[in-house]
Chains A and B, each alone.
Chain A
Amino acid sequence: MEMNIKSTGKYLTFKLAEEEYGVAILKVREIIGLMDITAVPRAPRHIRGVVNLRGKIVPVLDLRRKFGMPDVATRKENCIVTAMIANDGEDILVGLLVDSVSEVLLVSAEEIEPVPALHDVKLAFVVGLAKTQGKVRILLDIDKVVREESLEGLLELGQEMKASAA
C-alpha cells in the first residue's frame, strides 16, 4: 500500500484543454500570472523561454506542448505554476504554463484509482486518477513530466476516459 500513502494529500489542480490535472502541492512554490517570456533559440519546442522571477531566471515549460496538444491563443486566465523539480540530484525551479488554475484538492488514498491498462503505453508520469465530487483528475508525477522526453499516451488516455464515461 506504499503507493497510496505516497499519493494521499493535497493537490493543486489546473486545466489543460478539456482535462483537469493535479500536481502534489508540496512540489508547488507559487502561482504567477502570465508574464513576458523571453524565447530561447534552439531550446526544445516545449520550453517557451525564460522569465525573471524576482531576479532569478526561471525556464517556462508549456505543458500543452509537452503533452502534444495544439497551441491556443493566450488568455488572461493563463498561469505559470512554479514547481521544484528533482533533476539529476539537484532541485531546479521550473515554471509550468497551464490554461488556468482550478483549486487545491485534498485527495485520500481511497479516491485514487490506478490508470486503466492501456495498450502497451506506459504512463509512468501519471500517479493515478482522482475521482472526487463526480470529477476525474489526472494526478501527475511532475518530476517525471519535466524530465521525460516523450509523454506519448496521455492524449489517448483522455480519449479512453471520455469513451468509458459515455
Chain B
Amino acid sequence: MNPARLEALLGSLNALAATAALIDARSPLAASAQADAVVAWLQTSIGDIPELASQLSIAERVAEGLRRGLEPEPGVERLNSILEATFRCIGGPYPLQGTLAPMTTEALATTKSSFLELSPDEREGWSDFLVEAPELLAAIEGQLLGSLRHDAFDPMAILRPLHTLKGICGMLGLLGMNRLMHVCEDLLHPYRQAKELPNSATEVLLGAMDLLRAQIDAIAAGLDQGGFNVIDVSPMEQAMKLMVAGVESAGAGDPATVTVPAPFDPSADAITSENEPQARTTENVIRIPVAKMDTLLEAVSELAICQAQVTGGVLELNVHGPLAAEANRLEKISRQLQQVVLSLRMVPVQPLFNRISRQAYDLGRRMGKPLRVELEGGETEVDKGLVEELFEPLLHLVRNALDHGLDTPEQRQATGKAPEGCLKLAAYHQGSEFVLQMSDDGRGFDLEAIAAKARAQGRLRVGEEASADFLVDLLFQPGFSTAAQLTDLSGRGVGLDAVRRRVADLKGTVKAEAVSGKGAVFTLRLPLTMALMEAILVRTRGERYALPAANVLRFLAWDVAGRHAVGEGEAWYEAAGKSLPLVDVGAEGTGRAVAMHVSIGGRQACLVVDEVLGKQQVVIKALGGLLKEVPGIGGGAVLADGRVGLILDLDSLLKQHALA
C-alpha cells in the first residue's frame, strides 16, 4: 500500500475508532447508526484489502444485529476489536487503547465525576441556569429531531442556543460542559451553509445533549443539597474531537489536518452578530415564577367575585345613568383581565411534541421498528401544567403503538406498506377543549383477539357479540392486555388503563379507534386549562358542590320509583330504558331533586342532587395540606357569594359509590 493512502486511512480510522468507542455511550439507536457508518467506511476504504475481508463480514453482522436492537454491548466490543485488527493490519497504533470499554450514559456520568460544592450566593446563578439551559437544550433537540425527519434544517438555529449554552457553562465554571458545547460547535461548523445534517452527526449531537440533560438533572437535584456531581464529559469530548478531525480530513482530503482541529473563534464572532435579532426578541420576555402567576390568578378571580357582587348590588338598586354604565364596564374589564391572566399560563405544545418524538424515535430503533414522526399543530397553546402532566401518558401511548400497533419493516413490506412506520401527533382546540391525537399506521386493533381474550377473562359471555366500541374500551381496563409476549416496554396490562387514569386525573378523556390493518387513533380530550373549569353547580347535603360540566351527559327527572336496590347494598336507577348505578351524594331526594347521568373514564353512573343551581366557570383550588386526599372531593372553588364550594371528584366518587 502506498504511504499516502496509508496515512489517509489512519486519519479516517482514528475518527472511526473514536466513534466506535462512543457507540454505547449514547442511545442504542446512535450505536446502530455508528455501526452502519463503520461498515460503510470499511466497505469503501478497505474492501479491497484481502487480509481484512473477514473483519468486514463480521462488522456487517454486528451492524445488522445492532440495527435489530440485539445485544448492543457485545456488538460494540466486536466492532472495536475489528477496528483494532484493521489498525494492526495497516500497521498503525490503535489510538484509544484502554478507553474502549463499552460505556453507557450512566457509566459516563459516574466515572470520574467530581462533586461541586456551592456557596449560598452562587445559588442564584445556578437557578437561572436551570431555567435557561433546559429551554436551550429543547431548542437544539427540536432542530436536531427536525433534521432527522428531513424537515427544513437551519444550522444557525442550533448554533445560536449552543453558543449561548457554551457561554453560560463557561461563566458558571462548568468547564467540561463548556468544552463539550465548543466541540459540538466545531462539529456543526462544516454544515453552516448546508441544507441537511448527516444522521451520524445528528446522533452524536443528540448524545452530547443527553449528557447535558443528565448534568441539568444532577444540578436540579443537588441545588438544595448545596452541591452536585459534575459529569465527566471528557470521553465524549475526546471522541467528538476525533470525529471533527475525521470530518475535516474527509472534506479537505489532507491528512495533515487530522490531528489539529481548526480553531473555532472567528466563526464564534460571526454567530454573535447573527444572533442579534434573536437576542432582541428574547429581551422582551419576562420570566415569571408559576407561584406568582397563581397568586395573580387568585387575586384576579377574587376581583371578579367582588365585581359580581358590586354589579349585582347596582342592578338591584335599579338605577340608570353613569353608575349602571360604569358597573357594566367594570364587568367587561374584569372578564377581560381574567382572560388575559389565564392566557399567561398557556404555552405551545411543541416542546412536548419534541420530547415525545425523540423518545419514539429512540424506542423504535431499539425495537427494530424504525419510524417517522409527523407533528401537526405544535403551536397550539395549552395550560403549562397540563403540558408537563401529558408527557407520561403520551409516552405510554407511544410504547403501546410500538408494541402492539407497528410492525417490523419486513412485516410492513409484506402488507404493502412503506418499511418505515409513521406516528403522527396532532393538537388543536375544539370549543373549550384541547384535543391531542396520536395515530399510527400499524395493524390497528385485532377485535377478534380482544373478544377472545374478553371471553377467556369472563368479561364477555361465550356466544355474545360485542360492538367494536365496547371491545376497544376493554383495552383501557386494568389487567387487560392482548400482548402475546411481555416486553420490557409495555404489555403488562397496566399500560392503557394507566393512561386513562392519568388523563381522568387531568379531567379529560381518552378514546381509541382503529381500522384493522390500517392503524389506530388515540384521541385525548382535555380542558384547555387546569385552573378553570366549566362546572355544574348543585346543592346536596345542604351545601353547594360543583362538578365538571364535561362529565354530565344529561339531567333526568328524579322519581324515587326508579330506584332499585338489593337490600342495603348497591342501588341503581332505571330511567329512559337504562340502568345506571346510583352514587349517593347525600341528597334528600325531594322537591327539586334531579338525577344526573354522568360519565367518566368510560364508566357511567347516576348522581341524585337536591337542586341544580346552574352552570358557572370556577377557578379550581386545592384544599391544602390538611385535606390533601379527601375521597370524592377534588378541590374547592370560591363561588360568587365568596363562600367555598367543593368540587366533586367523579372518578373516585364512582369507585366508592358514595360521598360519605
Contact = CB atoms under 8 A, between A and B. Distances in A.
A87 B625 contact: yes
A42 B633 contact: yes
Interface stretch (A25-33, A48-56, A100-108): A48-56
A59 B624 contact: yes
B642 interface: yes
A38 interface: yes
A38 to B, nearest CB: 4
Contacts of B299: 55
B627 A40 contact: yes
Contact of A47 (B621, B627, B638, B644): B627
B171 to A, nearest CB: 32
B196 interface: no
A94 B630 CA distance: 16
Of B623, B626, B646, chain A has the most CB atoms within 10 Å of the CB of: B626
A94 B642 contact: no
B624 A93 contact: yes
Given A38-B543, A38-B643, A47 B633 contact: no
A40 B623 contact: yes
A57 B622 contact: yes
A136 to B, nearest CB: 30
A2 interface: no
A57 B623 contact: yes
Contact of A36 (B586, B625, B633, B643): B643
A52 B638 contact: yes
Contacts of B660: 41-42
A58 interface: yes
Contacts of A47: 626-627
B246 interface: no
Contacts of A39: 541, 543
Chain A interface mostly: strand
A42 B630 contact: yes
A92 B624 contact: yes
Contacts of B301: 55
Contacts of B624: 50, 57-59, 92-94
B519 interface: no
Interface residues of A, number: 27
* B interface bracket (residues with beta carbon within 8 Å of A): 20 to 34
Contact of A50 (B586, B623, B631, B659): B623
B636 interface: yes
Nearest to A44: B626
A41 B626 contact: no
B534 interface: no
Contacts of B631: 42
A39 B541 CA distance: 10
Contacts of A61: 626
Contacts of B621: 56-57
B302 interface: yes
B11 interface: no
B331 interface: no
B298 interface: yes
Contacts of A93: 624
A41 B659 contact: yes
Contacts of B633: 40-42
Interface in B602-660: 621-627, 630-633, 636, 638, 642-646, 659-660
A49 B636 CA distance: 11
A157 interface: no
A90 interface: yes
B638 A40 contact: no
B626 A57 contact: no
Contact of B644 (A41, A42, A52): A52
A52 B586 contact: no
A34 to B, nearest CB: 13
Nearest to B585: A41
Contact of B626 (A52, A55, A56, A59): A59
A79 B544 CA distance: 24
A94 B625 CA distance: 9
Nearest to A54: B302
A51 B643 CA distance: 7
Interface in B259-287: none
Nearest to A38: B644
6 contacts: A41-B630, A42-B632, A43-B627, A59-B627, A92-B625, A146-B626
Given A41-B630, A50-B644, A92-B626, 14 more contacts: A36-B643, A40-B646, A41-B646, A41-B659, A42-B632, A43-B627, A55-B638, A56-B621, A59-B623, A59-B627, A61-B626, A87-B625, A93-B624, A94-B625
Interface of A: 36, 38-43, 47, 49-52, 54-59, 61, 85, 87-88, 90, 92-94, 146
10 nearest interchain CB pairs? Answer: A92-B625, A55-B302, A41-B660, A55-B298, A38-B644, A59-B626, A57-B636, A52-B638, A57-B621, A50-B644
